[in-house]
Amino acid sequence: MLLLGPLYHLVDPEDRRRALREARRVLRPGGVMLAAAISRFAPTIDGLANEAFRDPGFEAVVEADLRRGHHRNPELTGRPEWFTTAYFHLPDELAAEVRDAGFALEALVAVEGAGRFLADPAPWPDDPELRSRLMRAIARVESEPSLLGASPHLLAVGRA
């Protein structure tokens, strides 16, 4: 079962719990659920990458996002390019929500991991040796708890 969007579009915690419980209800025993979430730190990471911090109003949005996890946009900012209203998870919070819904949490991983720091990613996928090195590098850090928040997106893998 794929939950690729509901958890960050459901701002109310009870709505997220309901979505996860329903996923658990419809999965047969042993079934796998993949749930995507946006990291609480995504606005900072993306804001630096796309230079949104050049706009003085952006920092206030980021600070509010960090405090409460609720990204209230565009109604509060009038800047629709700063994403839509959403919920941004802390990694432990996502893990807890998945477990509380009755899933065994098999993995919590960074979607954008170490590979995003390659200066020129173009040659890596086509070269078998480079690709192998890259995959090993990613595997070493993709589920490291202290690094999970450095990825703008997270993926929880739960088993019913």
56 located within any domain: yes
**Residue 117's pLDDT is what?**
86
**Residue 71's pLDDT is what?**
85
Our count of domains for the chain comes to 1
Burial class from Cβ neighbours inside 10 Å (0-12, 13-18, 19+) for residue 126 reads exposed
Query: The domain containing residue 93 runs over which residues?
Result: 2-117+143-159
**Residue 75's pLDDT is what?**
66
138 located within any domain: no
**Residue 76's pLDDT is what?**
66
- What is the distance between the alpha carbons of residues 75 and 60, in angstroms, rounded to a whole number? 14
**In contact, 7 and 156? CB cutoff 8 Å:** no
Q: What is the 3-state secondary structure (H, E, C) of 45-90?
A: HHHHHCCHHHCHHHHHHHHHHHHHCEECCCCCCCCHHHCCCEECEC
53 located within any domain: yes
Mean per-residue pLDDT for 16-38?
A: 97
**Residue 74's pLDDT is what?**
64
What is the per-residue pLDDT across 111-145, written as a single tens digit (0 to 9) for each? 988 888 899 999 999 999 999 999 999 888 888 89
Report whether pLDDT(41) > 70. yes
**How does DSSP classify residue 10?**
-
* Residue carrying structure tokens 């900012």: 77
112 located within any domain: yes
Neighbours of 103 (CB within 10 A): 24
**Antiparallel, parallel or unpaired: β 32-38 and 153-159:** antiparallel
**Residue 99's pLDDT is what?**
98
48 located within any domain: yes
pTM above 0.75, yes or no: yes
Report whether pLDDT(155) > 80. yes
135 located within any domain: no
What is the per-residue pLDDT across 51-100, written as a single tens digit (0 to 9) for each? 999 988 889 888 988 898 988 876 667 777 888 889 999 999 999 999 99
**How does DSSP classify residue 118?**
-
* Residue carrying structure tokens 């025993």: 29
Q: What is the CATH number of the domain that holds 155?
A: 3.40.50.150
